[in-house]
A and B are shown apart, each in its own frame.
Chain A
């Protein structure tokens, strides 16, 4: 761990004002950042505490959507009644993540920005392009059972570990960010980058830009949603594969469907391929399987993670089965 300066932001502008300082990191719940600082993976020279910022509201937007402040804790969001009733997929995703203690600390903004669990990234004894650009990727020829099969490059195959973000991608959320150049809104599906040749660049945020909130659009009445996560133990564990499904049915037919996968992609993976297979088609076991084949059609297996392709397909099929069989 390296020595750093600590400052507390009293208001949003104060936080953003410090934004251009080299080596600055915001700290929210700290459950990602402090961990990685202790491992010498994150080495900020200045840590700006944003826990006092007034970004803690969950409120209805004018058009009937929901705005979630960046500092809303994961447990508060998961147990919010509007979320539980209107966006069950989000509540389920949150509750499938981490542990109650972690969720009590973890913030909405921090969750979006959590870093990969790639073993090599988290241990400075290994080369890693994401941590140390140009040093090489230890996972590609190494032990890659937990790594991604979608969106990989020859420079990085790490998954994005968030469950919450997968649900939010399926909900077509957008992110409001604010920096010294003002405020902007980015659709969450465009927020993350695939690694390409710069795996160290993970998202569109400019240095010092602050996440203010996440907005969920209004869902049509009767929309159903569901999150299913598969992992190595029943709780307190990241996804090997997960699926978020948001569906609007007309009888047995999908009028509109949004699908995102977790645990298999280098970012929370929206699958328009699977959506295309299903939209305006019948909910049937065959179509579910076809959709899951489409979702994973671009998948590339490494030495130890080929099983994830079939697992992700089955997870999606099961999620679709459940969401369409709900009363």
Chain B
């Protein structure tokens, strides 16, 4: 037996529960006397509700109540009560509190009935009348009204300009000025949002909710409904994907709580897939990039400006443009980010928010510049490589990006690339090789954990974080087991429960660092206690030792210098007369140290596409992604994260888009048949490389987080590959076949022979 787990490809500790159906999700808790809520969604984008007629619905036997803005219990009045941990500045949406419609699909009524089917039927009978007002959902139509949003906590506004970007651009011998457009995307996790509220009497509630932050949503419920903290326990042990959509409380939560309190009953509210398109989304974003360079490729000017959407009631913004100024050595830089108000709900962080769009633009633009310079795109990146973050004038805590470039290029075979577009063919198809860089933050936030070691050597560690499919359960179990030298089967990690020690929402790739540090610290405390107990044993081998001299492994403590001299953990507890050891720890980042550096993960993505020019078919034949993400706690879960990101990146490049009918201000393709994400047949070879990166600054574990870096840059790499294959530059995601066909002129040449 070895209890060395960190860095090992341990299979998910929750995997078995998930594949056998034992893992229960928020909408799966069945209790006696459960009532079912179905939400009626607004059919218009903007206006007032002039009348809601619920009589038909209420006349059905078994319909308990139809909540509307007329009769719904009032929730808190002040905006502050609705501000959750990640709320952007503004006045958050509060369902059923007034007659205003602010986006299409907004909940306008909640029907509660004795059965789900009945509630569905009754919901179809609720008649809503509106006074329609003119909405705007087309960003292009109002881009001139873009403004600088109020800053969002935790997100740096665009860096101040440096040098003289405009004049440097004007004077640059080689330049490009281009615009890129990216569509709205919806998170669409497999599990729809759901909340089951168990009524425990006396306004005490147990709330099973789908969320990335059980504490965040617990506090929100209390603040909004006026319940005290101990009246609500919020649990979210399993989450079927969220990708950021669960960072903020979704509206079914407050509606389910409202109904439970109003009816003094247990209530479940589940969203339908169509309603998943009425939640926050990745905002449509237009970006203008201008690059000027000397003929040797040295950047002389870099201007990157973004315009994105927000709602009418909150200033959502994300970090789109700063990456460009941090990634490259350039003395004349201007960065800008503005938003416009549209009549949609507020956008919401979605896997690598901001970076995904920003790096799509800058890395496509760098590719365009490379062709203009007649220079290898990779060489252009190296030419402008920077060891310092010039936005903030700080060194990087670590940056193995150069090594990502090198190892990725080697694995991919980049040196065999013919730089000429349309020069590579296989079986009648055009082949294209493209390349892009990715970057993301290595954040760290305060988090707490507790540990209980019982006399039988079983360890429970808990923290109110979440596992949205990322592998949190697994890596925390690994850290705890290795720290205390216990077999992994004897360690249980608990999360997703507001009564556990506080943790931030799971997002931003900061969970491994933040919660991992807390878990490490609390286990270190248990270590200390065990060691002190072991020292009191008669003839203790550790009598003259210090804690640093001891190794915890295989269920034992032993002298590192002489492992034969050991004490079993259970024996120590027995002798100490301890039925358990309980510890808790509050871990905080070392800001004094961290603030002197810029802390990032990096990646290099190489993609090969095969294009059948006649039919516009694009196949992403292979992707190599080399990641510098600090210490890798578990190469298996880590690889899964990166693969998932790459698959999503393929979708982002080629397929994904929430289409809007601007006349009605409404998303149209609101189901998983018409909202396209990659299917198995779209995904071919994916090769992930983890480049060694040691970082003692980022946090004591040296981990940087991997949840988002995998997706960043993928769309640019694929778009660049498509240009290399076809000579067609599509600057408007997704790159669907009609856009490629439009670029390739109607056949003036012989029809190509078909593939064999």
Contacts and interface: CB of A to CB of B under 8 A. Distances in A.
Interface of A: 1-3, 38-40, 117, 119-120, 122-126, 138, 141-143, 145, 230, 232-238, 240, 285, 288-289, 307, 310-311, 314-315, 317-318, 321-322, 325
Interface in B600-632: 614-617, 619
Contacts of B747: 314
A138 B751 CA distance: 37
B104 interface: yes
B544 interface: no
A318 B615 contact: yes
Contact of A230 (B616, B681, B750, B753): B616
Contact of A119 (B614, B654, B668, B738): B668
Chain A interface mostly? loop
Interface stretch (B93-101, B281-289, B495-503, B672-680): B672-680
Contact of A310 (B118, B664, B741): B741
A322 B615 CA distance: 14
Nearest to B671: A122
A321 B754 contact: yes
B733 to A, nearest CB: 13
A311 B43 contact: no
Chain B interface mostly? loop
Given A126-B664, A233-B676, A285-B750, A2 B121 contact: yes
A322 B674 contact: no
Given A234-B681, A285-B751, A314 B615 contact: yes
Contact of B124 (A40, A138, A238): A40
Interface residues of B, number: 46
B80 interface: no
Contact of B663 (A1, A141, A240): A141
Contacts of B120: 1, 38
Contacts of B674: 117, 119
A307 B740 CA distance: 10
Interface string B106-120: 000000000001101
Contact of B754 (A142, A230, A235, A322): A322
Given A119-B661, A142-B661, 16 more contacts: A1-B117, A119-B668, A119-B669, A123-B670, A125-B666, A126-B664, A143-B661, A143-B668, A230-B615, A233-B682, A235-B680, A237-B673, A307-B741, A317-B751, A321-B753, A321-B754
Contacts of A126: 661, 664, 666
Contacts of A315: 615
Contact of A232 (B44, B655, B666): B655
Contacts of B753: 321
29 contacts: A3-B121, A120-B668, A123-B666, A123-B670, A124-B43, A125-B44, A138-B663, A141-B663, A142-B663, A143-B660, A145-B738, A230-B616, A230-B737, A232-B737, A233-B682, A234-B679, A234-B682, A235-B680, A235-B682, A236-B679, A236-B681, A285-B750, A307-B738, A307-B741, A311-B615, A314-B615, A314-B751, A315-B615, A322-B754
B736 interface: yes
Interface in B405-430: none
A294 to B, nearest CB: 16
B274 interface: yes
A233 B737 contact: no
A137 to B, nearest CB: 12
A3 B750 CA distance: 59
A322 B614 CA distance: 14
B676 A138 contact: no
Nearest to B105: A125
Given A1-B117, A321-B754, A235 B681 contact: yes
Contacts of A235: 679-682
B148 interface: no
B661 to A, nearest CB: 5
A315 B612 CA distance: 12
A77 to B, nearest CB: 21
Contacts of A234: 619, 679, 681-682
Nearest to B660: A143
